């Protein structure tokens, strides 16, 4: 702006101070039309004023829009996939030997490996009796390697736990379990 007295201010037409005739008893006029404002409002706001019930809840919030529906379907499919894979035994590290479910874990401790063998009966015709076990280090063919042998006895108990130590600690171990009818070859890593 310049200091020219003939130039008019941009807000010259607005009353910036109260009139001298206004004594404070006169109310200021407000122009507010509720219906006109509600016509332009979104439907959710209009529903609030109409007292219509708003759909809410967990299911509605999960399927409120297309991306959420897609995410819910993906989560359900992943859960079903994991359930089916676990029912068919693809996600556990168990083995089967003559109707018995066998899980093997091992831990290394001061040059030895402590092996834990969990046996559960899968069906009524499960084998019970002597099981020969041979444990060795995983080596290349043609190399000499030590073999540790052990014998355990499966009983008719639903669940049994066998623990034994082998005199070597190696990242890869081979185990052979042999019953009267079946043989099981396993390669595993002690933790």
Tens digits of residue pLDDT in 68-90: 999 999 999 999 999 998 887 77
Query: Whole-number mean pLDDT of the chain?
Result: 81
pTM for the structure as a whole:
0.52
Classify 123 as helix, strand or coil.
coil
Confidence class of residue 161 from pLDDT cuts 50, 70 and 90? very high
Strands 94-97 and 159-166: unpaired
- Domain range summary for the chain, segments of one domain joined by +: 34-87, 94-188
Residue 146 structure tokens: 């030590």
Specify whether the CB–CB gap between 74 and 101 falls below 8 A. no
Strand residues in the chain grouped as ranges (E): 94-97, 100-109, 112-121, 129-137, 147-154, 159-166, 173-178, 183-188
Beta bridge partner(s), residue 113 = 108, 166
Cα separation, 90 vs 87, whole angstroms: 8
Tens of pLDDT, residue by residue over 95-138, are: 888 888 888 888 888 888 888 999 998 888 888 888 999 888 87
What homologous superfamily does CATH list for 94-188?
C2 domain (2.60.40.150)
User: Residue 170: is its pLDDT beyond 70?
Assistant: yes
């Amino acid at each position: 702006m310049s200091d020219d007295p003939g130039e008019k201010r941009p807000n010259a037409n607005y009353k910036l101070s109260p009139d001298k005739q206004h004594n404070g008893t006169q109310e200021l006029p407000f122009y507010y039309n509720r219906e006109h404002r509600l016509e332009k409002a979104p439907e959710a706001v209009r529903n609030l004023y109409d007292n219509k019930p708003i759909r809410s809840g967990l299911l509605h919030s999960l399927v409120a829009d297309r991306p959420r529906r897609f995410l819910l379907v993906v989560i359900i499919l992943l859960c079903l996939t994991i359930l089916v894979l676990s029912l068919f035994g693809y996600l556990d590290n168990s083995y089967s030997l003559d109707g018995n479910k066998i899980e093997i874990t091992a831990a290394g401790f001061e040059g030895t490996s402590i092996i834990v063998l969990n046996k559960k009966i899968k069906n009524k015709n499960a084998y019970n009796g002597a099981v020969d076990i041979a444990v060795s280090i995983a080596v290349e063919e043609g190399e000499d390697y030590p073999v540790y042998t052990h014998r355990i006895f499966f009983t008719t108990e639903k669940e049994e736990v066998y623990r034994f130590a082998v005199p070597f600690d190696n990242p890869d171990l081979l185990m052979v379990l042999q019953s009267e009818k079946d043989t099981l070859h396993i390669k595993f890593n002690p933790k």
